[in-house]
Structure 1
Amino acid sequence: MLSIKAGKISSATLLRKLSNYSKKNRLYKAFRELGRVVRTVFLLEYISDLELRQQITATTNKAEAYNGFSKWLFFGGESVIADNDPEEQEKAIKYNDLVANAIIFQNVADLTTVLRELTKEGYGFESEAVAALSPYMTSHIKRFGDYIIDMDNTPEPPEPELILLEPPSEMMV
């Protein structure tokens, strides 16, 4: 039983009690049951709320798209890190994320440039159409190609805004 002296309990004692997975520990049982209640409430909300399901699915799809993109970029070994050294594993993952983020940034910059050019030519785009574009494109990338980095070539600063058409009023909710 958890004893409290003078209204205070040490954090070490509480952590020790919480980390004990014994089926005899009443505090462990209480938190396990509380977890089950929270999970059940969430599942009931998930089942009954279409918007919540759509939001979770969309978010999951974005995460999976990034993971697939990142995996595609992983050079050699089909995303298998052959080194058992945790520091080397962390480096491989961070370097791959760095390359992925650089390519995503360039893809977004290229998409924005094209959308701006089309807008100047008189084409309009609805926000929903632009939101459906993905920065995880790979068809234009030479994954194992030769790359020349010109440090003297300074890119143009990005323009802060992209003007989009407002959706028709009947589409607004």
Structure 2
Amino acid sequence: MDLSANCVIYSTAQDITDAANAIAADGHPVDLDDLATISPYITHVIRRFGNWILNLTPPAANPTTRLDLESQVLFAP
């Protein structure tokens, strides 16, 4: 467990480094005090599969629920 957590932290640190380098490459100043506040060790709200947006509005039309197959397809001998 510790090894996988360390790998995730290392990967996140690499992502932060890449983002800071991209900002600097675009010509924007990167403040070291700002970088000091960023941590690859997440201690709150870990979303393993990202942010999900649920659309609970029913569809405008009724969905098709009938599957037209011949009986030989469903019940093969």
* Bin of the TM-score, shorter chain as denominator length: 0.5 to 0.7
Paired amino acid for 1:121: D
Deviation at 1:117, TM superposition (A): 0.6
- The alignment partner of 1:136 has SS state of coil
Quick check: which one's helix share is greater? 1
Q: Quick check: 1:98 aligned with 2:3?
A: yes
Written as runs of structure 1 = structure 2, the 5 A alignment for 1:9-158 is 96-137=1-42, 138-139=46-47, 141-142=48-49
CA RMSD of aligned residues (A): 1.4
CA contact (8 A) 2:23 2:30 kept: no
TM-score, scaled to structure 2:
0.53
Paired amino acid for 1:104: I
Deviation at 1:128, TM superposition (A): 1.2
- The alignment partner of 1:100 has SS state of helix
Deviation at 1:134, TM superposition (A): 1.0
TM-score, scaled to structure 1:
0.25
* Percent of residue pairs bearing the same amino acid type: 26
Q: Number of aligned residue pairs: give it.
A: 46
Higher RCO (CA 8 Å, separation ≥ 6 residues): 2
Following the alignment from structure 2 to structure 1, what is the Cα–Cα distance between the partners of residues 40 and 14? Answer: 9
Following the alignment from structure 1 to structure 2, what is the Cα–Cα distance between the partners of residues 100 and 128? Answer: 26
Structure 1 portions without partners, runs of 5+:
1-95, 143-173
Paired amino acid for 1:97: D
Deviation at 1:127, TM superposition (A): 1.2
Structure 2 portions without partners, runs of 5+:
50-77
